[in-house]
Amino acid sequence: MTRVECELGQDAFRSWCDSVDWKPIVIVDDVPEWVFSMRIKSWVEVRRGLEFSNRDGDVGYRATFDADTQTAYAVYSGG
């Protein structure tokens, strides 16, 4: 598994998604996403932002953008 965590703005996250043909959806407050932060070595609850997943079981990509912290989290698993 490969993980990437970086600070960037929402426009940059959307551009990144567009460049690899990912179609992110809006994260709504009542259905948060949970992502693992390598920086703080703990799970983070994302209540506002964007997320994308094309995973089929354990294989594929997942990316989450946290609008509150301007942080993107991406995970690739080759299975």
Q: What is the mean pLDDT of residues 65-74?
A: 96
End-to-end CA distance of the chain: 8
pTM score of the predicted model: 0.87
What does the pLDDT look like over 26-61, one tens digit per residue?
998 888 999 999 999 999 999 999 999 888 888 999
Contact 6, 40 (CB under 8 A): no
**Mean pLDDT of the chain, nearest integer:** 92
Residue type, 47: R
pLDDT score of 43: 96
